[in-house]
Amino acid sequence: MAEQFDVVIIGSGPAGYVCAIRAAQLGLKTACIEKWVDDQGKVKLGGTCLNVGCIPSKALLDSSYKYYEAKKYFGVHGITTGEVDIDVPAMIKRKDKIVGNLTQGVGGLFKANGVTLVQGTGTVLSGTQVKVTVADGSSQILDTKNVVIATGSVPVEIPPAPITENRIVDSTGALDFQEVPGRLGVIGAGVIGLELGSVWARLGSEVIVLEAQDSFLAAADQQIAKEASKILKKQGLDIRLSARVTKSNVDGREVTVKYIDQSGKEHTLVFDKLIVAVGRRPLTDNLIAPDSGVKQDERGFIVVDEQCRTEISTVYAIGDVVRGPMLAHKGSEEGVMVAELIAGQPVQVNYDLVPSVIYTHPEIAWVGKTEEEIKVTAEEYKVGTFPFVASGRAMAANDTDGMVKVIADKKTDRILGVHVIGPAAAELVQQGAIAMEFAATSEDLALTMFSHPTVSEALHEAALAVDGHAIHIANRKKR
């Protein structure tokens, strides 16, 4: 008799591997299918996030900023150095080592928790069967009580700029440059485009970012977005909005790009490298058998309810393959939720409080509603802001760009949104998320004691400023 599992998970990214580990912890017999292998044919766990996304990009962002800081800011601290140079292959090797350590760590966690790892490509046949196909074409059927789809996403490709071997690259290719491109083009001014553009601009590339939309960081609070645009342009990113790329051509070591601006005028640019970073799409190609009963929408996303259950009661889908932001932490929380649902311990993800972070320097982060979203609903609200230029800790670190913004309901004082651009923005927004999870008011934050000196005090002061009680800036009159 074939082995039967309680749950089979397809994909070992942040959604899939977290779901597998939690399911096993809850006593469920669990298998996780992963098709990705390295050059030696060894399975690669961790999905996009660990291998070619969150982790490697942050490694390069941190390395490049240390180089940038040494060249530009060490003198402010009285530190004198000789000529500062960058060894790009060594930087890439460090990034790869970090990735290797983390992906191996997932394998260790699978063993420690008793998760069965199955190498191959998974196909959902029904609510109780998954076919696994390996490289030589052979296959096996896994019988299971529940199926969880967690196959993640891949970069979107666009016809005007098809990916080439080494000149026009997607976000994955941009993580493995072996030298600093003199002229770098980036299509897309979203999270990925800004982060990768920042990496190579710090190392010396002349970077032009082409964004088809007429607004910058439309998902962010626009007061924060305007501040971000100003700071990033000052750092050397040439961000051009309403720039629709129409054609590209690779000629030897150069890439020629044509784009049309808002007025319809055509422009021509020449780059050494071009990064296409216009977004990601769900990886659901050939994943679901037509007669399985699992439905997808017109964009390829798997249709699920608020608990990530498909129309087939024993099939779930989590992470980037379903609605909502494509964020590792959102997928991980969904993984835990589904594992616990299957084990009979129902929980719910709070989709109103999914934090977003852009790891430029300064970082840009937010949670909850933007001021623009609140205006649409006609809610009455109040706002408090505090600039890092007034923060003693930020001054000491020579890191004073940006601000903290707290938005609260005018009647109840409940915090509606926290938005930050500045040092440790991701950590400050997480403090805001915790407060909002417990329905805190701006007064609750204002009455909380913050240690001194910390950049967190900027969040405290912004909360105080909501009602005009900030101590370390002059308060504006409230409307």
Could you list the active site residues?
452
Whether the upstream peptide bond of residue 362 has omega within 30° of 0, thus cis, is yes
* Structure token digits, residue 372: 């623009």
Q: Which has the closest alpha carbon to 27: 343, 344, 338?
A: 343
How far apart, in whole angstroms, are the C-alpha atoms of residue 339 and residue 345?
9
Residue type, 170: D
The C-alpha atoms of residue 168 and residue 186 are separated, in whole angstroms, by 10
In angstroms, rounded to a whole number, what is the distance separating the alpha carbons of residues 124 and 36?
Answer: 18
Asked if omega into 453 is within 30° of 0 (cis), the reply is yes
Residues 6 or more apart from 425 whose CB is under 8 A from it?
Answer: 357, 362, 363, 364, 365, 402
Cβ partners under 8 Å of residue 321, min gap 6:
149, 150, 151, 152, 153, 282, 283, 284, 301, 302
Maximum pairwise Cα distance, the chain? 75
